[in-house]
Amino acid sequence: MYNLGKGGLTYWSPNINVVRDPRWGRALETPGEDPYVVGRYAVNFVRGMQDIPGHEVASDPMSRPLKTSACCKHYAAYDVDDWYGHTRFKFDARVEERDMVETFQRPFEMCVRHGDVSSVMCSYNRVNGIPACADARLLSGTIRRDWGLHGYIVSDCDAVRVMTDNATWLGYTAVESTAAVLKAGLDLDCGESWIVQDGKPVMDFLTTYGLEAVQKGKTRESDVDNALTNLYMTLMRLGYFDGMPRYESLNEKDICSHDHRSLALDGARQGMVLLKNHGGLLPLDPKKFGAIAVRGPHAEAPEKIMDGDYTGDQLFSSCCCTTYTSHATTHHVLTCYTFSWMKFVNAGPPCRYVTPREGISKDVKIWHHANLTIYFGGINMHIEREGNDREDLLLPKNQTEEILHIAAVSSNPIVLVILSGGGIDISFAQGNPKIGAILWAGYPGGEGGIAIADVIFGRYSPGGRLPLTWFKNKYIHQIPMTSMELRPRPDHGYPGRTYKFYDGPYVLYRFAHGLSYTKFRYESSAGNGTAVTLAAGGHCKQLSYKAGAVDTAPSCPAIDVASHACKETVDFNVSVVNCGDVDGSHTVLVYTVPPPEVAGAPIKQVVAFQRVFVKAGRAATVGFSLKVCEAFGIVEKTAYTVVPSGVSTVLLENGDTSSPSSVSFPVKISFST
């Protein structure tokens, strides 16, 4: 796209904010609620965007060439867009340092340290009173000095102007806001809209007010020099001035190629999560159903529904997804494997495909010709998007009523397909036997139609697991979205957040829930556990214990991870047995559970994961090597990351509530003086 003059080489992506609250409108852009999973996503996203084969590392990182420049955003503690008048432009995220280290900063630290990202974007909001883009401790102190950023820091678009016009931070003028962000370590101001300020046309503040800030002594010329150095070094690494011969031959033939579309299809299929499959309704057997009715507001889904937000330029029509309507209107008599925009055709007996355009929504009798109904529901960009948080976790009322009505009069249980980014309270469907199967498709992109059909008709066995908890709507009445705490607050009556700190009754589908067309069982020989001894080396830290949990605390309750060499590992294998008659993929998630006597610790936390393909009736061995400091470390209330002494637990759960399987073993950790 760059060679064709249709794109640049710097991409302000990925969004790696943790989904703290299920109402957040931008949950669809992110990898979920677990900081470790989000961080691993960030590392792999960035490496895929930036790395040139043979140049993954360099003695001088600032000279390492880049394919494109990625940007991890939005730093930091940003996850309120517009909730009942609390907007991101004025919101002050009051965050405890423990939560900052443990949750809000961790994906960004992984992105910079392990992904070697070339850019980080600071957010609109304030953090404990200070705008994120003007906080020297967060920017130059943490991102650049502590984590070692090799690149530039950019503001979210118009964030510097927001400091003056919206947040009105300290009553700063445009010149003072410009000086503040430059001194804090900002290198680039994304100015998104032309405005007139102080009689001047303004696009971005740094360009407009930077010179005046220097002339008035508000900032130093060296601050400007540093910003320019970081920007131009990134451009040089991209070959912006000298070219990048390795990629100069790329042209339109390399866009939307067969390999690329196959990858998009595989990504969409891997991302599908089977939430319910009562009585094994799915996969559908085309021999059993003569006609299929496709219903619901997304039954004629336009590209915007399929793609979500922030899609690339549709330069080539061959890359656009096919909607229900565009495919269905010319194919009313289809094979049983085909419906609507899904473009999935396979040999089979002819069947009747009944479209919404034939009046189903107005006349129930018409779709009585169908032997099965697939309902495509969910939400869209009117409900969840940037700048708009959700008011509740429910489906639109008309959808709920229509689904229940269709299910009640259908001769067979119906299939419900949900398109959404965030979780939805569909308790009414989960508990209804006439709604036999529920598939969460997310916003599956241009090849998503084929992917959904592949899953529904058994060409692909689903293996996805939920990246976030699906709460019941009652949960949001327990806690305001503006409360930033992750742990429960009994003094306020607030429950905890995410699977790490909430184990209450208002969960519909737990984090990592996901069914398959087969059954997976875990086996491991590590049941007796293991013991690890670490050298304390004078780096002991105090540990918070539950009241009455220990009579006498050990002389060294925990060690400081930052001061330890951290070379010790816990190694083990797990056998993943496919007990069914269908080949399938399965994601093995490894959790650690802190010692039960430790106060304020997570219920459990993801520390590793691998995806494995297992043939029916066979088993696959998956090996893990857990670094003790990383896998068993917790963040104390003092904000130190420590490894606690005592007995922790390694836990693996298959995520299948219909056929649960888990293995666990204890790990006793002690310290030598």
The Cα–Cα gap between 367 and 578 comes to: 38
Among 155, 146, 162, CA closest to 119: 155
> Among this protein's residues, is 156 annotated catalytic?
yes
Tokens describing residue 465:
């697991």
End-to-end CA separation in angstroms for the chain: 59
Q: Which of 394, 424, 387 is nearest to 89 (CA)?
A: 387
- Closest to 469 in 3D by CA, of 606, 582, 563, 342: 606
Output the six-digit token pair for 372. Answer: 């099965």
Token reading at 203: 């696009």
Q: Which one, of 618, 662, 654, lies nearest residue 516 by Cα?
A: 654
Torsion-angle region of 629 (φ positive above 0: left; ψ -120 to 50: alpha; else: beta) = alpha
Within 10 Å of residue 136's Cβ, how many Cβ atoms?
15
> Which DSSP string do the residues of 21-76 spell out, in sequence order?
STT-TTGGGS--S-HHHHHHHHHHHHHHHHPPTT-S--SSGGG---SSB--EEEET
Closest CA to 108 of 158, 72, 70: 72
Between CA 597 and CA 55 the distance in angstroms is: 47
- Residue indicated by tokens 């419906």: 339
Q: How is the chain split among helix, strand and coil, in percent rounded to 5?
A: 30, 25, 50
The rounded distance, in Å, linking the Cα atoms of 416 and 436 is: 8
Catalytic residue among 81, 135, 156, 223, which? Answer: 156
Query: Residue 61 to residues 51, 64, 120, 151, 219: CA-CA distances in angstroms?
Result: 12, 5, 16, 9, 28
Amino acid at 486: L
How far apart CA 568 and CA 342 sit, in angstroms, is 50
Please state, in angstroms and as integers, the Cα–Cα distance from residue 158 to each residue in 10, 206, 444, 448, following that order. 18, 11, 30, 34
The DSSP element (H or E) to which 628 belongs, if any, is helix 628-631
Kindly list the distances between the CA atom of residue 313 and the CA atoms of 255, 261, 319, 380, in Å, as whole numbers in the listed order: 11, 16, 10, 20
- Residue 48: HSE in the Cβ half-sphere, 13 Å Cα cutoff: 8
Q: How far apart are CA 542 and CA 637, in angstroms?
A: 10
Q: ∠649-18-136 over CA atoms, to 5°?
A: 110
Amino acid letter for position 150: H
Active-site residue set:
156
